[in-house]
Amino acid sequence: MKVYLTDRFVEQEDAKISVFDHGLLYGDGIFEGIRLYDGCVFKLDAHLERLEMSARAIMLQLPWSRQEISDLLCESCRVNGLKNGYIRLVVTRGVGTLGLNPLTCHNPQLIIIADNIVLYPAEYYQNGLKIVTSPTRRNNQAALPPMIKSLNYLNNVLAKIDALNMGAFEAIMLNDRGMVAECTGDNLFIVHKGTIYTPPVNSGSLDGITRAAIFEIAAELNIPIVERELTRYEIWIADECFLTGTAAEVIPVVELDKRPIGEGKPGPVTKRLLELFQRNVAKDGTMI
């Protein structure tokens, strides 16, 4: 596999950055996770727009245009002979001195990894996920806005550890008010009495690209969808629950904290949303 590293493609074993890069030292950088379906990069422009917004939010000047990054990303897929896969796009602040001062960094690093993806096992899409509530709370948005896809993911990693320690693969994260924010890497939705509900961004959730696609599909199906704060109780009594994310796509949840959701199996709305999402991915893609 070849990795794009700032100005060239290198073999993965040669893809190395300096130990003085502030992305490594302080998590000072941003990223996007992007899917490739049948030779089409899914919602590439939306991902690159979000990358630019993350960069502006942390005052990181991108020396590449959106078109330049787009071209390099597509070339990364071609170089690796990919038609389906996952692309990790990373920008670090660059090499600097020891210390937090970002003004010592002058050359941001662009890293593009285009590779195969390890999905949730098929059985989870057929039978649904059993998840738990993590005791690790989501970062307060006044400290680190969740809209910024930064390299600071330790909060999510700790919640993932909580899930694994409790015998689950995924966990819900609550915000500092005790309301549902999101899962460790996915947005959360419930279906109740014919309406879809999901936490708003100001609850501490990421404004996910797949999340936005579900809003579009729900509109096509004439299913009302509402953004509002959710409690765990509302998930326990929901008819259906599902998660969305670049890797997960749309995956049903059938149990939270040992409590079955609905009938304890994937529901019809979730199944229909996944079906239409998978049907639409090529239409919303950029050919490599």
Question: What are the residue numbers of the active site?
Answer: 149
CA 26, distance to chain mean position in Å, is 21
Distance (Å, rounded) from C-alpha 111 to C-alpha 23? 11
Contact between 9 and 2 under an 8 Å Cβ cutoff? The reply is yes
> Rounded to an integer, what distance in angstroms lies between the CA atom of residue 248 and that of residue 185?
9
DSSP type of residue 168:
-
CA dihedral 145, 202, 197, 182 (to 10 degrees): 30
Q: What does the block give as tokens for 118? A: 């390890």
Please name the residue that has the structure tokens 């502030």: 22
Q: Which of 148, 18, 34 is nearest to 87 (CA)?
A: 34
The distance in angstroms from the start CA to the end CA of the chain is 17
